[in-house]
Amino acid sequence: MTLEAIFEASIDYFLSPIGEFLTDDSITEVMVNRFDQVYIERGGRLIETDARFESEDALLTAVHNVAQWVGRDINQERPILDARLPDGSRVHAIIPPGCRNGTCLTIRRFKRGGLTLDDLIQYGSISPSAREFLELSVRLHKNIIISGGTGTGKTSLLGAVTAAIPEVERIVVIEETSELTLKQKHCIYLEVQRPDRYGRGGLTIRELFMASLRMRPDRILVGEVRGGEALDMVQSMLSGHSGSLSTVHANNPHDALVRLETLSLMSDVQIPIYVARAQVASAIDMIVQLDRFSEDGSRRLTRITEIEGLDEKEQYRLRDLYVCRFGGKTTAGNLIAKLEPTGQLPTFAAAPYEQGMEDSIQHSGELWKKP
């Protein structure tokens, strides 16, 4: 029996009180607020369950077991853990004194093999036209940021969109906690490492990103931009590493750009605000906005917006290419929504024809224009 198999069996044992939820593909989140209070998310809605751990110690032991699986520590000095389960599910845990009511464990589950754009069409999250437009934009090496709040499906969409990257390209994936598994064969997966209790051995996203630039990447994917690495990413986009993909927490495309600008200023490189703004405006080609709706629990792509640089007042110029239109609810209480083109053409509307991709245009023809 391999060491990995032993760890998997051990984790299954300690997490057995919630084991049924970890094998149910209809459940997207398992939330253990304390050892005797467990919620799940199914279909976008929160449901309280009867599941419970035997005691606080039993839950804490399960968390320590997960930490051991990924080679990380969680203790009173370091009371927060970001990790993953053997099946790729994302784990976040906080223990006292960081959490007042006891150990809190949250597990984000992903569909085995990852969601595809076909799945998102089936769920009503994206339209066939928008799907094709995004695939062509990826093939055209546009720098795309996926924006949205917590739990809107940013990572899932990022993974789905990467399927459009040609197999011949070398891809470097950088994540806080490794979640993405791409279908392409030539992929390098880099993961943040926490320093030990003496501050040794740590690797930040920024350090991994700088290392990736020396690895001859055709594409660099950053799971989520959270800090000063935003400046490195933006500058790499401007210096020839086009076709980058990443996610950021923001409520709309404009806020996504402002957040990237702010994160760039968090770098140890001191630059004026207007320089950060100009670089973000030049580097980012498109923002894809995701939203989650509490009315029916749905997650939808609500906007695809092109960035056109800065105006004369040094403000971001945005061009909405797709917008989600809402039309009430069905008798079952589900939102009626349709993601439609706005009639605006992207500035690169002729590019698919110029690069011989016209055979791939079937649903999004109104967005493209022959030169």
The secondary element (H helix, E strand) that includes residue 157 is helix 154-161
Q: What is the mean pLDDT of residues 236-259?
A: 94
CATH number of residue 10's parent domain: 3.30.450.90
Predicted structure pTM score: 0.86
- Give the pLDDT score at 1: 66
CB atoms within 10 A of CB 24: 13
CATH code: domain of residue 254: 3.40.50.300
* Residues 128 and 104 grouped into a single domain: no
Residue of 72 and 352 predicted with greater confidence? 352
Residue 260 tokens, joined: 């990237």
One domain, residues 100 and 123: no
The total number of structural domains in the chain stands at 2
Domain end: 108, 138, 165, which one?
Answer: 108
Residue 113's pLDDT is: 64
Look at residue 45 in the predicted model and tell me its pLDDT. Answer: 86
Whole-number average pLDDT of the chain: 91
Same domain (yes/no): 199, 286: yes
* Chain length of the chain: 371
Query: Do 240 and 104 share a structural domain?
Result: no
Q: What is the pLDDT of residue 186?
A: 96
Give the pLDDT of residue 77: 83
Q: Residue 354 and residue 284: Cα distance in Å, rounded?
A: 22
68 and 185 both lie in a single domain:
no
Q: Which two tokens stand for residue 42?
A: 């199914």
> Which band of pLDDT confidence, cut at 50, 70 and 90, is reported for residue 161?
very high
pLDDT at 367 over 80: yes
pLDDT tens-digit series, residues 71-115: 888 988 889 998 888 888 889 999 998 898 899 999 998 776 678
Q: Are residues 9 and 95 located together in one domain of the fold? A: yes
> 100 with 241, same domain?
no
Among residues 68, 89, 108, which one ends one of the domains? Answer: 108
Give whole-number Cα distances, 18 to 30, 53, 90, in Å.
Answer: 8, 8, 15
CB 96 within 8 A of CB 59: no
Domain boundary among 108, 129, 155: 108
Residues 74, 130, single domain; the answer is: no
Residues 341 and 247 in one domain: yes
Residue 177's pLDDT is what? 80
Which amino acid, one-letter code, is at 312? Answer: E
pLDDT at position 36 over 90:
yes
Verify that 61 and 183 share a domain, yes or no.
no
Give residue 297's pLDDT band: very low, low, confident or very high (50, 70, 90).
confident
Determine the pLDDT at residue 104.
97
Give tens-digit pLDDT for 179-237: 888 999 999 999 888 777 777 778 888 889 889 989 999 999 999 999 989 999 999 99
Q: Which of 296, 306, 305, 307 is nearest to 324 (CA)?
A: 305
Domain that holds residue 341: 117-367
What 45-50 contacts at long range (C-beta under 8 Å, 24+ apart), as own/partner pairs, is 45/297, 49/21
Asked whether residue 133 falls in the same domain as residue 68, the answer is: no
Say which residue the tokens 């996504």 belong to.
256
| 142 & 180 share domain | yes
